[in-house]
Chain A
Amino acid sequence: MLSLLDIAQRTQKGPKVEVNDWNMGLFHKMNELTKRYQLYYPKDNPIFNFDDGIADRAFQAAVDFLVEKGIYCLTTGRVIQITREEVLDLVKGMPKQYAVGEGKDVRILKQRRLEEKEELNHCPGHHAPFTEELAPLAVKTFAQIPSCDYLEGFNFPVVDGREIFGMPMELYAGKREASWLRQGVTKAGRPGLAVAYYPINTRAAVMLAPIAREFGLRPSDGILLSVLPEVKVEQDYITAAIVWEEYGGFKLNGNGSGLVGGFCGDLGGALIEALVEVLTGWIVYRDMACWGSVRAVAAYASAKEIPVMSAEVWATSVYSQALNRNTNYILFIGAGSLSGPGCETQLLEVAYKAVTIPINGANVHITRQGRARMNASISPLDAEWAFEVATAVMNNNLDRHSAGELVRKIGELLKGRAREAPYHSINEFYDMVRNKPLPAFEKAYLDVKEQISRLGLTFS
């Protein structure tokens, strides 16, 4: 199997391509592959995909892309070239499950099958900015969620009262993030719980600084090493991947996603992009799990209303099925929202996405809402709500047909709703010390749960 060092060498030797040419080349190649493999949204507007053929064709399109186009290294402006045999050999090497954490807190992240009923993996929080006063408390409260299998780190602008600016402070902040994560999970009574470092920024030194057995990141912990949009990778990330690989920690790709309306073009192009970025994360960084979906860039860039787009939900189901049928990959799907935090619309958005997760053979990932704001991320209640909905879908024995109907109905509740963002701080809707929602948010939760129950989903 091709090693990370092989990849590193290829970033220095592949053909030079201007970044603008790469971007526009993506558009043309994705259009060509969409036609070659007939990757179109069916005319009867389904929510989930029922055609195994299209899932397999989408996967073939992704492999063809890698073979015919390659992967762009932003640092060197060169294309990493790779053969079909190498891609397929690498795909065979993907782990089907992976142990994270240590001691009594070891959890197994695993690939799920479509419509499977076994317990889901759950990453319930962070990937959001907190101040240093609130960060340790945020870690503790999220770590107390029983279903939490690992926690992602967070971002913060100030450490020990000093602004994080410049390499020395960035390295120090990285080390502090790791120690706060460890302290937080220890206070929650789960000292061995795995944490995934959210890099302070994208310099290699900053990604490596927190590695430390005692008070930093352990080999049972992980790091987010994400593929950049438009199938781009970067040498600092590869550097970090090589070191992390030897250290033994797990690596996650936070961008196994395709953007409809970006340089990859329409829905078919975004579907291929999402699959290519999952494969790229494994090939270039050895990311053994990822979270992703197919979504519309225009909607996320500017939408004033919540986008309810069945085509994107369908494309995400094709994407999940393509990975499920052709790889061992461990997939998470995000249940994040555009609204929020702390409001009814957000909880409805979370439910809309969470219903799809077990049906798609994925695990639950929920961190912040669309736009990160300081100390104003989701609360543990939102995270548990996502898991509760996904678990109820399994307990109610929903399949693609019945879950599709439920998604459509929740979509009706969301249609025309504005992006809602009523609070400036998590403390305004959630008591972080007592670890429980404040009355208004608890009422919003109970109301939304009642609404979803009325649509036919029974909660135990």
Chain B
Amino acid sequence: MAVEEQITEVLEELKEAILHYDTEEAKQAARDIVDRKVDPRIAINEAVLSASTVLHQRFERGECFIPHLVMAGDAMEAASEILESALPKEHITSKKTVVIGTVEADLHSVGKNIVAMFFRSGGYEVHDLGVNVKASSFISKATDTNADIIALSSLLTTTRPYMREVIEELESVGLRDKFKVIVGGGPITREWAEEIGADGYGTDAYEGIEVAGHLIGIGPS
């Protein structure tokens, strides 16, 4: 078998392992890739991220569910760790980090969970703070983790102002430019996002992750 074919085969094995939500297989495939001296960056781009695209399409068609995205995210993380360990230090780019949660006084979580899982299976490091999250908690977690994005969810018209509070508190402590803030949820509109000075808005999880990628320069514009 030609070398190129071998490379394609191991990359395919990694992708398949992720698509079968199999962490052990994914780790084994990543080790094979490292042993065969394949550039880990190619593996991350061609196997891990393309698996992520397939997963999101499956989810949209109802062929996989939120728990599958969780398990695929586990497999991706485990494989990526092995691949990154084989990269020279100067080539290691830190993962993009998202801090996500439902704002204060709001306990709705379904939409937020979907977006969180999309980020995770899209290769982001995700810190999900849950529901009823105070502005100060978003900011301290984002600061502690050196996050790129703060993602805010709300399902009630009356809890929307707590999104603005996060942005205002970021401004008041001089951290507004450090993070991109995106918003979403049932009553959230593009106009509301603009009114409160958010950086981005997504009507659904697909748009949310696309907008986030664009804002931090890793996705299509």
Residues of A within 8 A of B (CB): 19-20, 23-24, 27, 74, 129, 155-157, 163-165, 170, 173, 200-203, 206, 228-230, 234, 259-263, 265-266, 296-299, 301-302, 371-374
Question: A155 to B109, alpha carbons, bound, how many Å?
Answer: 19
Task: Decide: B114 and A297 in contact? CB cutoff 8 A.
Answer: yes
A229 touches B156 (CB 8 A): no
Interface readout for B98-121 with A: 1 if CB under 8 Å, 0 if not?
000000011111110110000000
Q: Does B62 contact A (CB under 8 A)?
A: yes
Q: Does B187 sit within 8 A of A, measured CB to CB?
A: yes
Residue pair B70, A234 in contact (C-beta under 8 Å): no
Partner of A201, one of B59, B158, B186: B158
**How distant is the Cα of A355 from the Cα of B105 in the complex, in angstroms?**
37
Contact A265 B161 (CB under 8 A): no
Chain B residues with CB under 8 Å of A201's CB are 105-106, 156, 158-159
B27 contacts the other chain (Cβ, under 8 Å)?
no
Min distance, Cβ A26 to any Cβ of chain B, angstroms: 8
Residues of B within 8 A of A371 (CB): 186
Contact B204 A301 (CB under 8 A): yes
- Chain B residues closer than 8 Å to A229, beta-carbon distance: 109-110
Task: Chain B residues near A200: list those with CB within 8 A.
Answer: 156, 158
Q: Does B60 have its Cβ within 8 Å of any Cβ on chain A?
A: yes
Q: Which residue of A lies closest to B105 (CB)?
A: A201
A263 touches B60 (CB 8 A): no
**Cα-based distance from A296 to B156 in the complex (angstroms):** 21
Q: How far is the CA of A228 from the CA of B113 in the complex (A)?
A: 13
Contact present for A156 and B107 (CB under 8 Å): no
A262 with B105: CB separation less than 8 A: no
Are A202 and B107 neighbours in the complex by a CB distance under 8 Å? yes
**Interface size range of chain B in the complex:** 35 or more
For B65, what are the chain A residues with a Cβ–Cβ distance below 8 Å?
A: 27, 260-263, 265-266, 297-298
Known: A157-B157, A157-B160. A299 touches B62 (CB 8 A): yes
User: Which residues in chain B, 118-157, are within 8 Å of chain A measured between CB atoms?
Assistant: 130-132, 156-157
| Given A228-B109, A301-B111, A302-B60, residue A263 in contact with residue B158 (CB < 8 A) | no
**What is the bound-complex CA distance between A299 and B61, given in angstroms?**
8
Q: How far is A331 from B212 in the complex, measured between Cα atoms in Å?
A: 41
Partner of A202, one of B62, B106, B206: B106
**A74-B107, A229-B109 are contacts. A296–B158 as well, Cβ < 8 Å?**
no
In whole angstroms, how far apart are the Cα atoms of A163 and B159 in the complex?
A: 11
Task: Given A24-B70, A229-B109, A297-B114, answer yes or no on A164-B62 (Cβ-Cβ < 8 Å).
Answer: no
**Listed residue (A155, A164, A263) with the most chain B CB atoms within 10 angstroms of its CB:** A263
Contacts A202-B132, A302-B205, A302-B206; is A261 near B62 (CB within 8 Å)? yes
> Is A261 a contact of B66 with CB atoms below 8 Å?
yes
Is A260 touching B204 in the complex (CB atoms < 8 A)? no
Interface membership of B197, Cβ < 8 A = no
Q: How far is the CA of A154 from the CA of B125 in the complex (A)?
A: 38
The answer to whether B219 has its CB under 8 Å from any CB of chain A is no
Give Cα A162 to B63, complex, Å. Answer: 46
Contacts of A372 on B, CB cut-off 8 Å? 157, 186-187
How close is A17's CB to chain B, nearest CB, in angstroms?
14
Q: For B67, give its contact among A164, A202, A263 (CB under 8 Å).
A: A263
> Could you tell me the distance between the alpha carbons of A314 and B189 in the complex, rounded to whole angstroms?
34
Whole-angstrom distance from the CB of B125 to the nearest CB of chain A? Answer: 15
Which residues of A lie under 8 Å from residue B110 when comparing CB positions?
A: 229, 259, 262, 297
Contact A129 B157 (CB under 8 A): yes
CA distance A372 to B62 in the complex (A): 24
The 7 A-B pairs of least Cβ separation, nearest first, read A27-B67, A201-B105, A165-B161, A129-B157, A261-B65, A302-B204, A155-B157
A301 in contact with B105 given A156-B158, A157-B158, A372-B187 (CB within 8 Å): no
Is B62 within 8 A of A173, CB to CB? Answer: no
Residue of A nearest to B130 (CB): A19
Q: Using Cβ atoms and an 8 Å threshold, which residues of chain A touch B70?
A: 20, 23-24
What is the CA–CA distance of A298 and B66 in the complex, to the nearest angstrom? Answer: 9
How many whole Å from A157's CB to the nearest CB in chain B? 5
In this complex, what residue of A is CB-closest to B61?
Answer: A298
CB distance from A292 to the nearest CB of B (A): 14
The reply to whether A298 and B109 form a contact with Cβ atoms under 8 Å apart is no
**Chain A residue with minimal CB distance to B186?**
A372
Selected A-B contacts with CB under 8 Å, 30 pairs:
A19-B130, A20-B70, A23-B67, A24-B67, A27-B67, A129-B187, A155-B158, A157-B158, A157-B161, A163-B161, A164-B161, A170-B158, A201-B105, A201-B156, A201-B159, A206-B105, A228-B108, A228-B109, A260-B62, A263-B65, A265-B65, A265-B67, A298-B59, A298-B61, A301-B204, A302-B205, A371-B186, A373-B187, A373-B189, A374-B157
- In the complex, what's the smallest C-beta–C-beta distance from B207 to chain A, in angstroms? 9
- Which residues of chain B are near A298, meaning CB under 8 Å? 59-62, 65
Please judge, given known A-B contacts A201-B156, A261-B66, whether A228 and B161 are in contact too, CB under 8 Å.
no
Contact A170 to B107, CB < 8 A, known contacts A261-B66, A298-B59, A302-B205 = no
Distance (Å) between the CB of B123 and the closest chain A CB? Answer: 19
Q: In the bound complex, what is the Cα–Cα distance between A315 and B107 (angstroms)?
A: 27
Residues of A with C-beta under 8 A to B158: 155-157, 164, 170, 173, 200-201
Q: Give Cα distance in the complex from A301 to B60, angstroms.
A: 9
Q: Which residues of A contact B66 (CB under 8 A)?
A: 261-263, 297
Task: Report the bound CA distance from A302 to B111 in whole Å.
Answer: 10
Nearest-Cβ distance from residue B126 to partner chain A, whole angstroms = 11
What residues of B have a CB within 8 angstroms of the CB of A165 in the complex?
161-162, 165
Tell me the residues in window 153-179 of chain B with beta carbons closer than 8 Å to chain A beta carbons. 156-162, 165
